Amino acid sequence: MNNTLGPQAMKVISFVDLLKKETDIDIKYQDERMTTIQSDKVLMDMSVKRENRKKYIDKIAASFILQTYLDGRSNG
């Protein structure tokens, strides 16, 4: 993590630019780089076996992303 945008982030930015031109939707960017690591740690702390963590990791990461967004909205 060196604060540079990777190829996928650049694709997202291009897509968002297209959406902004076509819609009136207020689009927010959310940095999600660490959410998978956070999710894995939560599952390890819960003693979930490695082979079972794959079932839940994306769902937990999504909840972290959503919570960060909601926290940002309530803080102004």
User: Confidence class of residue 76 from pLDDT cuts 50, 70 and 90?
Assistant: low
Count of alpha carbons within 13 Å of 58, Cβ hemisphere only? 2
Among 47, 44, 17, 41, which residue's Cα sits nearest to residue 29? 17
Give the predicted TM-score (pTM) of the model: 0.73
Answer whether 36's CB lies under 8 Å from 57's CB: yes
Summarize pLDDT for 30-53 with one digit per residue, the tens. 888 899 999 999 999 999 999 999
